[in-house]
Amino acid sequence: MSTIRVVLPAHLKALAGVHGEVPVEVAGEPTLSAVLDSLEQSFPVLRGTIREHPSGKRRAFVRFYACEEDLSHEPPDALLPEPVLQGREALLVIGAMAGG
């Protein structure tokens, strides 16, 4: 079991009713997909807000960052970077800056 620190954008924090980072527990391989599955299981209101339902595809204006790298185009089953697995860095879910 791994615990991944996840930082949500403000609107999703408000929807989930959380403040600050969200510790997300992942059983098995700590991939981006597994983290989001666990996050959505803990906070069903977030289902569809980060990944489209039912396709599971990342929403166009949502990005994933960690360790100053854009992970948005990584395969969903790729392991997260080591500092994220060790809890030294957080996984950032970001609403892309666009529109008004």
Partner 1 sequence: MSPTDVVRHTVRVWSDEGDGGSMSGVRVLVGTRKGAFVLTADGARKKWTVDGPHFGGWEMYHLKGSPVDPNRIFASQTSSWFGQLIQRSDDGGKTWSPVGKDFVYDGVPGTHQWYDGTPHPWEFARVWHLEPSLSDPDVVYAGVEDAAMFKSTDGGTSWSELSGLRGHGSGSQWQPGAGGMCLHTILLDPRDENRIFAAISAAGVFRSDDGGTTWGPKNKGLKSGEIPSAEAEVGHCVHRLAQHPDRPDTIYMQKHWDVMRSDDGGDSWTEVSGNLPSDFGFPIDVHAHEPETIYVVPILSDSMHYPPEGKLRVYRSRTGGNEWEPLTKGLPQSDCYLNVLRDAMAVDKLDDCGIYFGTSGGQVYCSPDGGDTWDAIVRDLPAVLSVEVQTLP
Q: Using CB under 8 A, list all residues that contact partner 1.
A: 9-12, 15, 45, 48-50, 52-54, 59, 61-62, 95-96, 98-99
DSSP letter at 81? P
By beta-carbon proximity to partner 1, the closer residue of 56 and 83 is 56
By beta-carbon proximity to partner 1, the closer residue of 53 and 88 is 53
91, 64 contact by CB (below 8 A):
yes
CA distance 87 to 44: 24
> What's the min distance (Å) between Cβ of 65 and partner 1?
15
Q: Compute the radius of gyration of the chain from its Cα atoms.
A: 13
> What's the min distance (Å) between Cβ of 61 and partner 1?
4
By beta-carbon proximity to partner 1, the closer residue of 8 and 30 is 8
> What's the min distance (Å) between Cβ of 26 and partner 1?
22
> What's the min distance (Å) between Cβ of 19 and partner 1?
16
Contacts of 68 (CB under 8 A, 6+ apart): none
CA distance 56 to 37: 10
